Amino acid sequence: MTKLSTTDLQLKANDVRVDIINMLAEAKSGHSAGPLGMADVFTALYFGVMNHEPKNPKWDGRDYLVLSCGHICPVLYGALAEAGYFPKDELKTLRKLNTRLQGHPHNIGTPGIETTSGPLSQGSSQAAGIAYGLLMDKKPNRVFLIASDGEQQEGQTWEAAMFAGKYKLRNLIAIMDRNNIQIDGGTEEVMPLEKLREKYESFNWDVIEINGHNFNEIIAAYERAKNSAEKPTMIIAHTVPGKGVGYMENNYLWHGNPPGIADVAGAPPKAEQTAAALADLAKARDAIK
């Protein structure tokens, strides 16, 4: 893939956010906050960092992307469609009967989907296993793991972290969506996670903290991680849940709600929510230009 300029990355991320709103509104179900918050990270991966070929998804030289937090798959589907893995019109089939774009990713038949995901934290073990196998085969491919902060509350996360640290999986680059929310409220209220940096460092990981909406920081972190010689890397990306849609930002009630379905304090009436979200994103696009 041709790598984009910073401005073009910002515009592409905005396009992905528009895709997310449109597909969720059409599906009338799904998650909003996480996908919108991670649009910049996914855009940087697919248009600035990863080695991949949309017309040849199983190319031997590709980097692997493992989405552990499968519920944010609208952002993955949007990025894949924008990159050309399948037509954008297919996004309208999200969560519908017989679709390839299920509510959690399924790796059989959907171009660009490496692993099936749903139960939180399993992706961490999948990614570690793939990375270990690639090192055993002396292959240069890298594995990018996308994980939520909420799933750091799962024990399997730390089993995988211990494994990756022991075997020095330098080809494993994890990106944590540190948006501080989960379905029942704030992470630090539901089950405190901090101090995350120190925890991963104690498991022999290199840790980088970034603003998950700053493309210069995102790409610089990837480049540092790709040059790691001895350790797996955890990039803690501080993001705004619902980024780009004013009435959704930083409100955990949008974790599992699409526009047009829920009456949420501070949000427009249900019938106006999709239009309001798209209007916010149109303003954001004008500001980028």
pLDDT at 182: 87
* pLDDT over 70 percentage in the chain: 99
How many residues are listed for the chain in this entry? 289
Domain-located, residue 74: yes
CA 269 → CA 23, 29, 134, 259, 264, distances in Å? 19, 17, 50, 10, 8
Angle between helices 6-27 and 215-226 (to 10 degrees): 100
- pLDDT for residue 6: 94
Q: Is the pLDDT of residue 288 over 90?
A: yes
Domain membership of residue 175 as a residue range: 6-288
**206, 228 contact by CB (below 8 A):** yes
Evaluate whether residue 176 is within a structural domain: yes
Query: CA angle, 223 as apex, 221 and 226 as ends, to 5°?
Result: 110
Let me know: does 145 contact 66? Beta carbons within 8 Å.
yes
Q: What integer pLDDT is reported at residue 154 of this predicted model?
A: 92
In a domain, 165, yes or no: yes
Task: Determine the pLDDT at residue 91.
Answer: 96
Task: Say how many domains are in the chain.
Answer: 1
Tell me, what's the pLDDT at 183?
A: 86
Assigned domain for 1 exists: no
92-117: average pLDDT = 91
Residue 87 within any structural domain of the chain: yes
**Per-residue pLDDT, 214:** 97
CA separation for the pair 133, 169 (Å, rounded): 10
Q: Are 148 and 212 in contact (CB under 8 A)?
A: no
Percentage with pLDDT > 90 across the chain = 89
Give the model's pLDDT for residue 220: 95
Vertex 150 angle, CA 198 and 121, to 5°: 90
Residue indicated by tokens 């270990």: 132
Joined tokens for residue 202 = 């104690």
pTM over 0.85: yes
Q: Is 174 exposed, middle or buried (0-12, 13-18, 19+ CB in 10 A)?
A: buried
CA-nearest of 21, 14, 10, 1 to 91 is 21
pLDDT at 1 (0 to 100): 59
2 pLDDT exceeds 80? Answer: no
Which CATH number belongs to the domain containing residue 15 in this structure?
A: 3.40.50.970
Q: pLDDT by residue (tens digit) across 7-63? A: 999 999 999 999 999 999 999 999 999 999 999 999 999 999 999 999 999 999 999
Does residue 27 lie in a domain region? yes
Quick: pLDDT tens for 128-157. Answer: 999 999 999 999 999 999 999 999 999 999
